[in-house]
Amino acid sequence: MPTLPKKLKKDAIAEAICEIRFECEESLSLPEIVVGRLADFDVWHDFEKIRLPISDIPASIRSQNPDLKKQPVVELRERNGPRLAKIGVNVFSYHRLAPYPGWETFKPEIDHTIEFLFVSFQSFKATRLGFRYVNVFTAEDHGVNDVRHLNYSVNLAGDDLQDPQNLNYRKVRSDTHSVQVRIASPEFVSGPIGKKVQVLVDLDVFTPDDFETNEAETAKAWVEDAHTYEKEEFFRLFTEEMKQRLVEAE
């Protein structure tokens, strides 16, 4: 594949997320220890701490429910800043909100967090890794007014669909990387985004169900590859005209 563009003149990333689901001895014996230890990590020691509503459900009940088990119970939010972390007994995620600082800044932050996570608990193993970019195209910043400006089309019985769309598809990129792509018109977008959305492009890279690792270096390398696959899928959606107009010259 040709060399990927490094960045856009006007960034489209509304939120960047790295999530790790895990198992460890403390999650079973002393779940409060897991949350407390992660919340005291020096990087976000001064962040505002917010208890999420799910924390009112007893840990013993959450641990028995597969959906509740992987939900965060505490949110740590940087005061007047773009960073936040979400912590659960078996899940951790690190978020960067707009303005996105660039991969050169975000990746070392992820690596530092992974290194801390993997050495902080007994018999720790990651059971799922996820890496996600939520991108927002606007008319003002990108000259994109609807999904028809992107490099794809949906054909139904010989007719190209022109109406608002909510398209989801998945591509397997390696034995440990699948990319879920969602392209949505504003009619299908909810929640706080911060900009007037014309097209939302949500790219979520994740591991298979049988994945596990107890090595931090494996997780860090996985994230690096996930970032590459995410960028490849993102720029496949660009027409040549979009690339010429929106990509920053190197």
pLDDT at 60: 82
- Domain assignment of residue 82, yes or no: yes
pLDDT at 249: 78
- pLDDT tens digits, residue range 201-228? 999 999 999 999 999 999 999 999 999 9
Is the overall model pTM greater than 0.75, yes or no?
yes
Residue-number span of the structural domain to which 161 is assigned? 13-246
- Domain assignment of residue 6, yes or no: no
- pLDDT tens digits, residue range 108-163? 999 999 999 999 999 999 999 999 999 999 999 999 999 999 999 999 898 988 88
Number of separate domains in the chain: 1
- Domain assignment of residue 127, yes or no: yes
- Domain assignment of residue 232, yes or no: yes
- Domain assignment of residue 198, yes or no: yes
* Segment 160-165 long-range contacts (CB within 8 Å, at least 24 positions apart): 164/188
Radius of gyration of the chain (CA): 19
- Distance between CA atoms of residues 59 and 39, nearest Å: 17
pLDDT at 77: 96
> Under DSSP, is residue 7 helix (H, G, I), strand (E, B) or coil?
coil
pLDDT at 195: 65
- pLDDT tens digits, residue range 38-86? 999 999 989 999 999 998 888 888 888 988 889 999 999 999 999 999 9
Q: 223, exposed or middle or buried, with CB in 10 Å at 0-12, 13-18, 19+?
A: buried
- Domain assignment of residue 1, yes or no: no
- pLDDT tens digits, residue range 182-200? 999 999 998 766 568 999 9
